[in-house]
């Protein structure tokens, strides 16, 4: 089993990061960890180097943070990503989050950077990890519609829609050849469960978004990549599939999607 989306650089792991990774090694095939901002790149690269063939790195700028960086800083981040092309397996997470960012200027900045990261992923021939979330004004500003337009306009092919919950756009995503990943939110949310139900197994990947989204639903509890086991169990229930079939298919999908060199 592979956790395709977590954040091992988070301070929540500072006290026992190596113990957590050792536990993951006992239970999982691989872990893909996603650095949400440039200050996290070095630590993320170091982890994937130290745990080569097991921990894999994805670098990007989370849409939540886009207003914290000047154009020059974004360019520098992109250069750093390009310099580390061979040490990473993807770009992200990037995308649109209209819940965190509510101003028209901030959202425009998200759209610009999202398109830039999509172009970079195309040029470097790397997968793109996409985060999309609507704000309370979703009737008038739809982050999902905007994000899909940008991805299609940029010709994005290798796309992971992380924690995807927009059932009405699922056919379009599948038609474009994109992948959907789900985490423990499917243990509680009917709308997210519907997306899992209707996503073909060959397009589905598992994730945790750890340290967040512990399977217990307790926001105070720290999650870790082994939380993906509970997600797989729930996927098997929702899809009325054998747990080993879910495990095999999602592991193969993740390994192929990211081109993982497993060891």
Binding-site ranges for Zn ion (CB under 5 A): 209
| Cβ-closest position to Zn ion | 209
Nearer to Zn ion, 45 or 130 (CB): 130
Is 184 in contact with 233 (CB distance < 8 Å)? no
Nearer to Zn ion, 204 or 239 (CB): 204
Nearer to Zn ion, 142 or 207 (CB): 207
- List the alpha helices (DSSP H) in 180-242: 190-198, 228-239
Nearest Cα to 47, choosing from 82, 94, 78, 89? 89
Nearer to Zn ion, 40 or 209 (CB): 209
Shortest separation between residue 44's beta carbon and Zn ion, angstroms: 12
Nearer to Zn ion, 186 or 239 (CB): 186
- List the alpha helices (DSSP H) in 125-242: 143-153, 170-175, 190-198, 228-239
Shortest separation between residue 250's beta carbon and Zn ion, angstroms: 18
- Give the number of other Cβ atoms within 10 Å of residue 103's Cβ: 9
Which positions ≥6 away from 32 have C-beta within 8 Å? 2, 3, 4, 5, 6, 56, 57, 58, 89, 90, 254, 258
Shortest separation between residue 247's beta carbon and Zn ion, angstroms: 22
Cis peptide bond upstream of 249, omega within 30: no
Shortest separation between residue 209's beta carbon and Zn ion, angstroms: 5
Beta bridge partners of 122: none
Shortest separation between residue 6's beta carbon and Zn ion, angstroms: 7
């Amino acid at each position: 089993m592979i956790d395709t989306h977590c954040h091992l650089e988070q301070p929540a792991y500072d006290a026992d990061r190596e113990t957590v990774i050792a536990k993951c090694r006992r239970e999982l095939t691989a872990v893909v960890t996603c650095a949400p901002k440039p200050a996290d790149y070095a630590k993320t690269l170091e982890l994937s180097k130290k745990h080569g063939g097991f921990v894999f790195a994805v670098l990007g700028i989370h849409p939540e943070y886009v207003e914290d960086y000047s154009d020059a800083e974004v360019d520098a981040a992109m250069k750093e990503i390009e310099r580390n092309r061979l040490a990473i397996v993807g770009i992200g997470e990037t995308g649109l989050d209209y819940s965190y960012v509510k101003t028209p200027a901030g959202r425009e900045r998200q759209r610009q950077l999202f398109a830039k990261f999509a172009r970079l992923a195309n040029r470097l021939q790397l997968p793109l990890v996409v985060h999309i979330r609507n704000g309370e004004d979703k009737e008038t500003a739809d982050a999902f519609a905007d994000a899909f337009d940008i991805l299609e306009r940029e010709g994005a092919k290798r796309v992971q829609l992380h924690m995807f919950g927009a059932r009405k756009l699922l056919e379009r995503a599948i038609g474009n050849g994109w992948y959907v990943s789900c985490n423990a939110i499917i243990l509680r949310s009917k709308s997210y469960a519907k997306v899992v139900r209707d996503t073909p197994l060959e397009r589905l990947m598992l994730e945790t978004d750890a340290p967040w989204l512990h399977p217990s639903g307790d926001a105070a509890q720290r999650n870790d990549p082994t939380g993906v086991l509970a997600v797989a169990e729930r996927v098997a229930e929702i899809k009325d599939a054998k747990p080993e079939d879910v495990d095999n298919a999602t592991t193969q999908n993740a390994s192929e999607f990211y081109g993982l060199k497993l060891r």
